[in-house]
Every structure is written in C-alpha cells, then in structure tokens.
Amino acid sequence: MDWPTTFLAAYAGLSLLYWLRTAYAIVRLRRGVPLLAALDLAPPVRAGASAGRPARWPRLSVVVPACNEAADLEAAARTLLAQDYPDLELIFVDDRSTDATGAIIDRLAASDPRAKAIHIRELPAGWLGKVHALGRGLRESAGEFVLFTDADVHFAPGALSRAVAYAEQHRLGHLAGLPELRPGTFVTDAMISVFLRQFLTVTRAWAVRDPRSRAFIGIGAFNMVRRAAIEATPGLEWLRLEQGDDVGLGLMMKRSGARCDVVNARGLVALHWYRTVRDAAVGSEKGWATGLRFSLLRALVAAALLPALELSPILTLLPLAFEPVRPAGYAGLAVLAACAATIGLMTRWGRTVSLARGLAGPLTAPLLAALTIRTAILGWRRGGIMWRGTLYPTEMLRGGMRVRFP
C-alpha cells in the first residue's frame, strides 16, 4: 500500500473512532440521563407524616442574577411567578445593571410577596460579577433547596415541583437540568449542536450520578442544590474567579461528596441560548479561560483538530473520486454512517435542534475554529476576559481557575 493510501486510511480510521466514541456517549446519555417530564414522581414524604396528611414540600429559593437583562428578564421571570410550588421564594439580584433591569426586578418584587429584589452597586475585588451575585442571593435566601438559574430561562408549569420531587426521591445534594434550547438562526443552531455533543461527551453526564465516578456537570439554566449540601462545601467563594461558574458548582458539589445527578429538562425548562452567530462569538470569549486555559497554542490545536474531525464524514469520502486511493475512500462510508447515526440519536434525545440543523453541524466546524482563534487573540490582546462590563486579567483568573476539561 502506497503512503497516500496509508495516510488516508489512517485518517479514516481515526475519524471512525471519533464518531463511534461520540455515538457511545449519546447512547449512554439516552440510558443514563432521564427525561424529567416523563418520570412518575410522588410528592415528598417527610418524617412524621401520617396517612391522609399532605406531604410537606421543602421551601425552595430561586436565585436569579441579572446584569443588563432588561430585554429578556420580565418575560422569563413571569414564568417563575406563575409556578404553583407550595413554598417558594424568588430572589432577583440586579448585578450593577445600567439598563432597566433594576426597575424591572423592583416591579416584580412589588407584584408578588414571594419575590425579593437585591441591588448590587459595586463589585468587590477578587470576584467575578455573576458568582458574587449568586453568593449574595444565596446568603439572602431561606430555602432548604436553592435553585440558581439565569435571567432568560423560562419554566413550564410544574417544573419546580417535579425537580424538587426528583431531588427528594433520590436524596440529592445537587441536580443539574439540561434545558430545551429554543431555535435561533440555522447556522447558530448547527454550531450549538456541535458544542453540545462535545460538552456532553467530555463531561460524561451519564456518569455524574455514580458516586465512584469523578464526572461532574453544572448548567447555568438549572443548578439546584440542597442547602445542607452546599454548606458542607467551601462555598461560592471557592468559585469567585471561575469563569465556568455553573460547571464549577457541579465540580464543587461532587468533590464535597454530595449526591449529584443530571436530568433532561426538555419540556420544562427552556431558553434562547445564542440567537445569532454574533451572540455566539461574544459568548465564546469566556473560553479563553476554561476551554483554552489562556493558551494560544491550545487554541491553534483545537482550531485544527475540530474541522478535521467534524468534516471527516465528507473528507474521508473524497478518495472515492480518485482511482489510486479509492480503497481508502470505502472506509469513509463507515465514517459517514457513524456520523449520521450519532447526530440522529442526539437530536432525537435532546430535541435541542432539528435533525436538519444537527446534520449541518459538522459543516460549521471551520466557523467554530475561527471563533476559537478569535477568542484566543482577544484574550491575549486584552490580557484577560471582558465580561459583564468588567475586564478580568488573565493572571487573576488563572489563580482562581477550578474547572479543567481536556
């Protein structure tokens, strides 16, 4: 076998392993991460409850940090106010907003006795704004359970009751919920489908519930903790400079020995993540920390590998058009089949994007690579990350980094 054929066959083999590994991860997700809306859940039963006596629902506090979220906050908050959870506290934290966010949360608090407004005027040194806001909300809360969520997240009726019932049934200290993503542009959703496959594979979400596993996960849209469990951790101060604060919370809870789990919250929790490519580009700037670990070299390697692997279902078929290397192209058929099966399984389970957008995902790999390079260049030139109107220097973030993904 000549060297071009050998090289192309090796590339096809590595690509097949990549897609088979991803397919394995999706199969494990389907089996190991339940759909919360489909579960048969009973109300919590507390010690001392007698026959015919209603079960007591634990008090639940929902902490919603918001920084310049006037466009999305009120509509999302109304879905929380509409919840019928028996003992609910809602805490809206205005984190130094310069738009109408502060006025909106004051109006929300005035409209419902369950709601409370907190205003943060200054950011203490050595803290990220969102983590500080979460900590402030936690200190002001009184619930036995505390749900951290974002200001643009919508909750279906009964979502909170189902989540607490599940946590009580399994005696959880931390529950993360994978939300339903509402559609944006075709290209943006295709890009998101690639990121989700990568994220769920790397985090091994299906293994989070296994106390022997080191797998952990956290989701900004839905991170619920039991107060007793989070009080047994170093606290949010441990995460004060962690850009991936949501995943960091999952790491902290798992390290503390708390029972952790993750559910598919499709149909119960939903949001628009990134509506446009521009939104995704801005959002990806945080990747200079957790994803790239402040390394231009890591960015270059990632930008080269991602298109090579994601576009492999097409690239490995190209040898079929050339007689001398045609045998290597036959392996590309297996790569294509593995890719199609993987994406089909993912879209059917997650329902985050349509099948058409999922299948188009690999085609966006060059764009994702370009955004990776952009993130690295901006992080290097700025000397840090600009987030929520504040520049956080690289050296400061490096010292507080907790989450390290491969």
| Per-residue pLDDT reduced to its tens digit, 371-394 | 999 999 999 999 999 987 889 999
pLDDT of residue 394: 94
How many angstroms from the chain centroid is the CA of residue 302? 20
Q: What share of the chain in percent tops pLDDT 90? A: 87
pLDDT of residue 211: 94
Domains of the chain by residue range: 3-29+279-396, 32-43+58-184+196-274
Residue 318 banded pLDDT, cuts 50, 70, 90: very high
Residue range 32-43+58-184+196-274, CATH number: 3.90.550.10
pLDDT of residue 53: 44
Strand order, beta sheet including 269-271: 154-155, 269-271, 180-181
Q: With the C-alpha atoms ordered 342, 348, 350, 356, is the resulting torsion angle positive or negative?
A: positive
CA angle 273, 279, 280 (to 5 degrees): 75
Q: Is the pLDDT of residue 167 over 90?
A: yes
Q: Is the pLDDT of residue 1 over 90?
A: no
Among candidate residues 358, 285, 363, the one with its CA nearest the CA of residue 22: 358
Name the DSSP class of 35: B
pLDDT in tens, 45-85: 665 554 444 468 999 999 999 999 999 999 999 999 999 99
Query: What string of H, E and C letters represents the secondary structure of the chain?
Result: CCHHHHHHHHHHHHHHHHHHHHHHHHHHHHHHCCEHHHCCCCCCCCCCCCCCCCCCCCCEEEEEEECCCCCCHHHHHHHHHCCCCCCEEEEEEEECCCCCHHHHHHHHHHHCCCEEEEEECCCCCCCCHHHHHHHHHHHHCCCCEEEECCCCCEECCCHHHHHHHHHHHCCCCEEEEECEECCCCHHHHHHHHHHHHHHHHHHCHHHCCCCCCCCCCCCCCCEEEEHHHHCCCCCHHHHCCCCCHHHHHHHHHHHCCCCEEEEECCCCEEECCCCCHHHHHHHHHHHHCCCCCCCHHHHHHHHHHHHHHHCHHHHCCHHHHCHHHHHHHHHHHHHHHHHHHHHHHHHHHHCCCCHHHHHHHHHHHHHHHHHHHHHHHHHHHHCEEEECCEEEEHHHHHHCCCCCCC
pLDDT of residue 20: 96
Q: Is the pLDDT of residue 148 over 50?
A: yes
pLDDT of residue 406: 61
pLDDT of residue 50: 46
When mean pLDDT is compared across 238-242, 270-274, 288-292, the lowest value belongs to 288-292
Among candidate residues 20, 6, 2, the one with its CA nearest the CA of residue 328: 6
**Residue 19 φ/ψ region, left for φ over 0, alpha for ψ in the -120 to 50 degree band, beta for the rest:** alpha
State mean pLDDT over 22-34.
95
This prediction's pTM: 0.93
Top pLDDT among 53 and 156 is at 156
Residue 327 banded pLDDT, cuts 50, 70, 90: confident
pLDDT of residue 304: 97
Q: Is the pLDDT of residue 349 over 60?
A: yes
pLDDT of residue 47: 54
State mean pLDDT over 328-339.
93
Q: Is the pLDDT of residue 171 over 70?
A: yes
